[in-house]
Structure 1
Amino acid sequence: MSEASQALQKIARGTGIVFAGTVISMFFGFLSRAIIARYFSTGEYGVFNLALTVLSIALVVATLGFQNSLPREIAFYREREPSKVRDLISTALIIVALNSIIWTIILILGAGNVAQVFDEGRLAYALKIVAFALPFSALIGTLVSISRGFGRVREQVYFQNIVYPIAFLVLIALGAFLNFPFTYVFFAYVLAQVITLLALTFDVWRVKLFEFRTSLDLKLGKELIRFSIPLMLTGILSFVMTWADTLMLGYYKSSEVVGLYNAASPIAKLLPIFLNSAAFLYAPIASQLYAQEKLGELKRVYQILTKWVFLLTLPIFSVMFLFPEATIGFFFGAKYTSAAPALRILALGFMFHTFLGLNGWSLIIIGSTKANLVGDLFAAMTNIILNVLLIPLYGMQGAAVATSAAYIVANIFRSFWLYKKTKIHPFSWNYVKPLIISFVVLGLIQSLHLRVSNIWYAIPVLMTFLGIYSFLVLVSKSVDKEDIELFLAAEKRLGIDLGIIKRILKRFA
């Protein structure tokens, strides 16, 4: 088995585990928010969301982009200079701890000013409480990023995806049952972060993932910060792209339009779920290949992984694109179906983001963090300019076009620079064929102008589409040897004999 196949199988296993953890986290997070929304007023629920948004921005600054840089840096140093890994980890933890404490103080002192910006007096007290969660949250994220550098997923899944959301849910449910005041929600948030950090720290110490030490290597620290700062700025620009459409819809239109749009937006943002899950182990494994100067293997991993992510995402995209009314109605009810055109536009943008693969992470792996920053800067500018031009004329659809265009610009820029620097691109012939087939079949179904208002009526159409699509992919011989090797590995791991499917795959490979 080739080194690329081995890397792909490790990434595939990690992707499945991270995907399951993400679904669990989303489920418990939804329950927590549902309880808060149910037992407190809409205004208080709004304050809660504003406080977490401000805290999220502070978290990006407090961690200095380390959450994205450490998986690459640790994997890289493990391959090139393993003697420096301990000092790198210790230096990163000390820098994050000190910086997060500084930003906690800044957030507490500036809470009143932030509340004035949003014209919401209750936000000041909320920020003064929730700010104490910042150091704990920053250290949790840093420890998880360190574990990623060692090619591990359990710290992310067990603690960020399971321990934290369950702890917060239990504390929120207890507060609702005992009829505690609204401020309790923020104390519960801080306590859940404390519990998670303590549990994670104990587990890291128990499994001896690395040795805790208090050494600060200033040279390593400067190199890490220099490498990470563009990633921190990229994270801030990502917030701009995430929230610009909502804020500008509120400015130009009404809260009702904002509410309708925010039924479509979170659904469309589900599309990169497999891409993000695959990124978790792609970063350290691809970094090791790059450190070994195995660009051929890295290119093969990139191409096959991109094809897998596209094939997994296609069914979700098909439902959103072909039946946007039924999709929104299923999640939010019939009164939100007027946002269906916006969902279709957003789905196109996020699918474009998905089908080009992990170009952003690949730029991080080869050390081109500034290229990511420039690409996101152009994307954010595109987003804001198009929002200003289109929202007054087209409302939700204009905001959706602006967001989709921003993601398209960012991904074209990243893919261009990745190809220019490494000649890596996602378009193997066995990936291009499924792309063409999907475009043709989706276009034919769309031309029928099917009007489906119930998601259950859409399922037979979707199953027919996937059946035809799968048949055409097989007939076009778009199956790679890595696909068969992964299938055989899964068969062996599950302990079952899938002889008929194996014969079909071998016939069309």
Structure 2
Amino acid sequence: MTSVAEPGSSHFKSNLRAASGLFYGVLEIFFGLGTIYMTSVIVSRTVNVSDFGVWSTAIQAVTLISLLTSLRAEVTLAQVIGRARGAHSHAPYRTITLTGFLLVTVFSGAVSLVLVVIGASVGDGTEVLAIIGLTLTPISLMLVLVGVQRGQERMRASTITRVVPYLIWLVAAIGLAIAHASLKTFAAVYTMTISASIAVQLMVYWQSSNRQWGIASDDTIHTETRSMRSTYLRLMLVTGLPLGLAMLLDQGQNQLSGYVVILSQGATKAGIYNAGYWMASILSKGLVAIIGIFVPLTARLLAENNLNMARSVYQRVTRWVFLPTLIAAATAFVYAPTVLCIYGREYASGSTAFRILIVGFVINVLFGPNRAFLIASNRGHLILYSTLLTTALTLMVSVVLVPQWGIEGAAVAAAINIILGNLWASGWLWFTLHTQPFTRPYLNLISFGTLSAAVLGSGMLALTGSTLLGAILFGLLYSLLLLLWVWKSGFADGEDRELGHYLLRRIRPSRA
């Protein structure tokens, strides 16, 4: 492979440190989401389906707010792309803090109000939605402060500190489940645990770094110049703000169908739909995991006018991420009722909606990190336009389909939203950079994987039925079949191995 940059150069190292921040940020997101999924299973096993519908609706709003409070990650992305193009590498943290306060106060307040209104409309569980909804704004403000503080500390150490609240909440949820606590108790303990944990983090950062409320007192911050603020704001307007809004709207539009379900079909149907949606959305997390490495690397390649190498990285990353996703998706699709029984037997009735959602999320992975490629090429505004259009379309389709088809209609609306967003991003990627992921080896994988899953799945269902043992056996046999095909077909070549070694070498120095 062609060398991307001189590893010893200071320009490369500064870009790499920012990439490290994104990498550890992705790890935090994964740990947080994993804890949310685990505790949601615990809650679903403790309370009835209707109460779980209320709980899952509230937690969806919490995850939406958490995206807004990841302002530091969006700032880091703006810096990564700015550095690749020779822009100033320092961000004025006072400006970041004040901007974060403004955005979080307005947005989290609006989401809190929406939750309270939904609770009043649903009737049952109003108190739970109100408890979580009314605490979103103060929790969000504290998260912004912690995020800005962490932007000035070593990322690896701060990542360890960040996971503490999730661990505390996981232990608390297990204890509440053993005690057969009510949904209202779960909500109260959740908000108190997260709020107290974040407050402790603030105190630790304040004492250890002698900084107050996210505004440092050292010379770097006091010498914040007009040029620095101007450069930062320009980067945020061009790159960070469109990306942040796109992330928020994208997550929000994915939740629109669930909100329509709870308002038109009731909390019980919402619980069944949300369980299937969360399980299906796990399929796309592998794609999210590589963005922290993919964006800085691709931005650097494009800044050096090395489009061919960037295109090759995109194509190879896409097909290797799709391989394990296909195995997980096929297993979940064939044994949908069994997978949903993780939440409880009552949730197996959402199998059809679950399968529709699986198709949507598999297509999301099928196109690869197309949006990340547009971001790296400084075309994040195109994603914002796409998200605005698909958000409006998703709302209209949900309002029409959900009252008629129930949770299956909500799943169709969500799948349409995912597919249209990917078609838009991939279309712009082709028209602007003539880049697409569908190489011959990738197309062979798609065709062979789909056909073999259909044949093997039909046979396994006939032999074992929709049982847990059958799902495990199918997953093992299908994995072995695909791995054997990868070995015999020449799917992996020398450039794949070289790319893997290259990325590993780039990650290791970032720990320094």
Same fold (TM over 0.5): yes
SS at match of 1:474: helix
Q: Which residue identity is paired with 1:443? A: A
How far off its partner does 1:375 sit? 1.6
What's the counterpart of residue 138 of structure 2?
A: 132
> For the residues of structure 1 that align with 2:203 and 2:245, how far apart are their CA atoms?
29
Q: Which residue of 2 aligns with 1:378?
A: 389
Q: Which AA in structure 1 matches 2:156?
A: R
> 1:154 — aligned with what?
156
The Cα of 1:303 is off from its aligned counterpart by: 0.9
Aligned to 2:96: 93
| C-alpha distance in 1 between matches for 2:457 and 2:176 | 49
1:264 aligns with 2:276: yes
Aligned partner of 1:282 in structure 2 is 294
Q: Deviations over 1:292-334 (max 9, x none)?
A: 22222211111111111111212211111121122112x1233
Counterpart Cα distance in 2 of 1:197 and 1:103:
22
Taking the TM superposition and a 5 Å limit, the aligned residue runs for 1:40-439 are 57=64, 66-67=71-72, 69-81=74-86, 84-86=88-90, 88-90=91-93, 93-99=96-102, 103=106, 107=109, 115-116=116-117, 118-119=119-120, 120=126, 127-141=133-147, 154=156, 157-160=159-162, 162-169=163-170, 183=188, 185-197=190-202, 213-214=221-222, 215=224, 217=226, 218-227=229-238, 228-329=240-341, 331-439=342-450
Contact in 2 for aligned 1:79/1:291 (Cα 8 Å): yes
Count of residue pairs the alignment pairs up: 477
**Contact kept? 2:49, 2:271, Cα under 8 Å:** no
> d(CA) in 1 for partners of 2:210 and 2:494?
41
Tell which deviates more after alignment, 12-21 or 415-424. Answer: 12-21
Deviation at 1:238, TM superposition (A): 1.8
Measure the CA separation in 1 of the matches of 2:30 and 2:248: 25
Q: Return the offset for 1:28.
A: 4.1
State the one-letter code of the partner of 1:242. Answer: N
**Could you tell me how far 1:455 is from its partner in structure 2?**
2.0
Kept in 1: contact 2:367–2:437 (CA 8 A): yes
**Structure 1: gaps (5+ residues):** 493-509
Judging changes above 3 Å, is the alpha-carbon distance between structure 1 residues 268 and 201 closer, same or farther for their aligned structure 2 residues? farther
1:462 is aligned to 475
The SS at the match of 1:332 is coil
Report the AA paired with residue 93 of structure 2.
Answer: S
Does the 8 Å contact 2:52/2:271 carry over to 1?
no
**Could you tell me how far 1:166 is from its partner in structure 2?**
2.3
| Contact 1:96 1:138 (8 Å CA) reproduced | no
The 2-side partners of 1:398 and 1:411 are apart by 20
How far did 1:272 drift? 0.9
2:109 is aligned with what amino acid? Answer: L
Distance (Å, rounded) in 1 between the aligned partners of 2:298 and 2:152: 16
2:485 paired residue among 459, 462, 472: 472
Change (3 A) 1:156 1:25: farther
**Cα distance between partner residues in 2 of 1:3 and 1:299:** 15
Which ranges in structure 2 are unaligned for 5 or more consecutive residues? 121-125, 212-217, 506-512
The residue number in structure 2 matching 1:495 is none
Distance in 1, Cα, partners of 2:245 & 2:67: 8
Task: State the 1:363 CA deviation.
Answer: 1.2
Other structure's SS at 1:85 match: coil
* Aligned counterpart, 1:485: 498
Whether the 8 Å CA contact 1:324–1:343 is kept in 2: the answer is: yes
Q: Map Cα deviations across residues 248-298 of structure 1 (whole Å, 9 max, x no partner).
A: 222332332222222211110110111111112222222222222222221
Task: Give distance in 1, aligned partners of 2:22 and 2:3.
Answer: 18
Q: Distance in 2 between matches of 1:469 and 1:403?
A: 29
Give 1:68 shift: 5.5
Establish whether residue 441 from structure 1 lines up as the match of residue 452 from structure 2.
yes
Q: Distance in 1 between matches of 2:268 and 2:135?
A: 30
The Cα offsets for residues 87-135 of structure 1, whole Å up to 9 and x where unpaired, read as: x25365334354257549x939x97796356324675565554422222
Q: Deviations over 1:318-367 (max 9, x none)?
A: 111121122112x1233221211111111110000011111111111112
* Partner SS state of residue 435, structure 2: coil
Q: Judge which range, 72-81 or 46-55, deviates more.
A: 46-55
Q: Name the CA distance, whole Å, in 2 between partners of 1:129 and 1:398.
A: 32
Residue aligned with 1:363, SS? helix
DSSP 3-state at the match of 2:418: helix
2:214 maps to none
RMSD (Å), alpha carbons = 4.4
